[in-house]
Amino acid sequence: MDSRLWPCPPCGEIREFIQPTCLDGHTDDGGECPEWACVDCGSAVVFGDVGVVAGVLRLRQAA
Ligand SMILES: [Zn+2]
Ligand SMILES: [Zn+2]
């Protein structure tokens, strides 16, 4: 299974994210589902672009 390492807001740390089975039809046309779930807390996050990740990083620095 594909997985990525991203900062997870609820966890407050870098976590491994996996893609749950897409139920919204994102992959019907061969596209990639933008929804990822943290394997640690199960929090679902939509990563549309790197700007979202950058925003999370800023949140961590402010905390
Ligand atoms: Zn999807
Ligand atoms: Zn998490």
pLDDT band at 17 (very low <50, low <70, confident <90, very high): very high
15 in any annotated domain: yes
Q: Which residues, in sequence order, are bridge partners of residue 13?
A: 8
Q: Which two tokens stand for residue 58?
A: 């800023």
pTM of the model: 0.65
Backbone angles phi, psi at 16, to 5 degrees: -85, 130
Which pLDDT does position 21 carry in this prediction?
Answer: 87
26 in any annotated domain: no
31 C-alpha to center of ligand 2: Å?
25
28 in any annotated domain: no
58 C-alpha to center of ligand 1: Å?
26
Could you give the 3-state DSSP secondary structure of residue 11?
coil
Cα 29 to chain centroid, rounded: 21
Q: Tell me: the pLDDT tens digits for 20-61? A: 888 889 889 888 888 889 999 998 888 765 555 555 556 666
25 in any annotated domain: no
Q: Which domain holds residue 53?
A: 3-20+35-62
Nearest ligand to the CA of 18 is 2
30 in any annotated domain: no
Which pLDDT does position 18 carry in this prediction?
Answer: 93
- Looking at the structure of the chain, the number of domains it has is 1
